[in-house]
Structure formats: C-alpha cells, structure tokens
Structure 1
Amino acid sequence: MAYFWWFLIALGLAVVEVISVDFFFLMLAISAGAAGITSLLGFDLTAQIIVFAVVAIVLLLTLRPWARRVLERSVPNTRLNFHALLGQEALVEETVTGEGGRVRLAGDTWTALTKDEVDLEVGEVVYVNEIAGASVVVSRVKA
C-alpha cells in the first residue's frame, strides 16, 4: 500500500511543478514515482527511500540543468508587467513637471513626472524612463 502514498506524493509534486515551472519539483515527482514502482515490486521502505534519493540526485544533477537550458532557449525574453512599459511612447495630457502631471500611455492615463528641469507641455510625445510607484518618469529622450 506504500506505493499509493508514493504516487500521491508524485502527483502533488507534479502539481507544484506546474505552478513553479522550475523543473525541481518535476525531478522529485519522477523520483517519488520510481520509489512507488520500487514499492510495487515488493521492496521494503529503506530500499524505496534509497531509490527516491538516488533518482532525485541523479535527475537534479543531470536532467534538470539540461531541461532548463532547453526551456530558456525556446522561450522568448518577453518583458511583462511594468517592464513592458519602459521605453514606450506616451502623450502628455496635462503639463508634466518634477511635481507631477498626466500622460496617456498604453490606452490609460498615468500620473507622470520628469526628472529634468524642463516642463513637458500638452501634446508632446515623451518616453517612459522608469516607474516610480504608481507614476511614470518620462522625458523627451528615449532611455
């Protein structure tokens, strides 16, 4: 009956892997599956734990680094969340100073400021240089 628990552990680790996508928990899930097969073959708990540990170590040292390299090469470097806004054009809707103002960015109105001493006037096209809390820092020059 120990095989049931090993397979349940393997399933739980596989679910965690789907969330993390790091290949660490996948290696442990495969190891738990190997320990479950060892249990099905009639070996005692000590042998099952040894199989789990050996398979985990071998997979973590060999298969995981290879799988991570393959994944990193196949997935494009996509900027997400606020990183995707950096360098984007924005249109000044309300004069932007070092104290504040408003710009139209990606279809939304954002609070904006500039680090330059120059005020940015309504209608100017500016570029997002950084994100400061809930505001964007903009300038006339693309950073």
Structure 2
Amino acid sequence: MEAWVVWMVIAAVLGVAELMSLTLSLGLLAVAALAAGVVGALGLPVAAQVGVFAAASVAGLVVVRPVATRHIRQPPMLRSGTAALVGREALTLTEVTRLAGRVRIGGEEWTARPFDPDIVIPEGAMVDVLAIEGATALVYPRE
C-alpha cells in the first residue's frame, strides 16, 4: 500500500475519533494527516510527508486550537429572555415583601420579592433586578 493511502486512512480514523470526542485536537491532527497524504500523492518522499504532518500538527495545535477554543467559550454577545432583565432598574408598584409585590421592569409588570427576605420595599421605590426566578423578579432597593 502506498504511503499517501496510509495517510488518508489515518486522517479518516482521526476525523471519526474527533467526532466522538469533540476536543478539536484530533480533528487538527486529521487535517495534518490529510496534508501529508496530499504531499505523498504528489510523489514526495516519506520524510517530506512526515515533515508536513509534523509542521501542520504543530501549527494546528499551537495556533489554531487556542483561537478556536477561545471563540467557542465566549458567552453570547446578546442576552435575551429573562437574562436580559437581570441588572435593570425597576419601579415598585406595590409594597414588596417576602410574600407579595409587583414591579415595573421596562414597561412590563412582574411579580416581585426582595432579594433579602427580611426587608420590605415601599411602593414607588427604585430597585435593581438581581435575579429572575420563574415569573418573579428578585429585587433590591437602590441607595
């Protein structure tokens, strides 16, 4: 069997292994094996094929993988749904206690309770939304 065919088989095996592990490492090694297979198909000697594999592997693992993992781990740029309400300012429409209360957050009325269950927030006070639990805003009075 010719060397370039062996490189292609190695690339296929590494590609399938990457699909199972999702680490990005094996996929980059598969690309390096593919590059070595192309060099072998062009008729270059095995030493050149190994050199291309080594260079492509190092380039992939040292340069490409850190950039790719950084992009994958970034949080979404836009918060949506209830997550977008956390940190916003609200106005209490009724007295807010641990049992009941209503606030207006950006034009919408929400049920509310104080984040600290021991405090009572009077009607008309400005509060910060610290969390959303279900359909209830957990709020804390502004200083």
Give the Cα separation in 1 of the matches to 2:12 and 2:70.
27
Report deviation, 1:110: 2.2
1:38 is matched with: 36
Q: Which amino acid aligns with 1:33?
A: V
Report deviation, 1:57: 6.0
2:91 is matched with: 91
Structure 2 gaps, min length 5: none
With the length of structure 1 as denominator, give the TM-score of the two structures: 0.53
Contact 1:7 1:33 in 2 (8 A): no
1:118 is matched with: 120
SS of structure 1 residue aligned to 2:32? helix
Q: Are residues 108 and 32 of structure 1, via their aligned partners in 2, closer, same or farther at CA, if it must alter by over 3 Å?
A: farther
The correspondence of residues 61-140 of structure 1 with structure 2, limited to 5 A, is 61-65=62-66, 67=67, 78=77, 80-81=79-80, 82-114=82-114, 115=116, 116-121=118-123, 123-128=124-129, 130-131=130-131, 133-134=133-134, 135-140=136-141
Report deviation, 1:140: 2.1
Contact 2:102 2:111 in 1 (8 A): yes
Contact 1:95 1:119 in 2 (8 A): yes
Q: Are residues 94 and 80 of structure 1, via their aligned partners in 2, closer, same or farther at CA, if it must alter by over 3 Å?
A: same
SS of structure 1 residue aligned to 2:93? strand
Structure 1 gaps, min length 5: 18-23
- The number of residues matched between the two structures is 124
Give the Cα separation in 2 of the matches to 1:4 and 1:69.
27
Q: Which amino acid aligns with 2:33?
A: A
Runs of 4+ in 1 over 6 A off after TM superposition: none
Q: Which amino acid aligns with 2:94?
A: E
SS of structure 1 residue aligned to 2:121? coil
Q: Deviations over 1:111-142 (max 9, x none)?
A: 21012522331x433211x2152222212216
Q: Are residues 61 and 30 of structure 1, via their aligned partners in 2, closer, same or farther at CA, if it must alter by over 3 Å?
A: closer
Give the Cα separation in 2 of the matches to 1:109 and 1:57.
56
With the length of structure 2 as denominator, give the TM-score of the two structures: 0.53
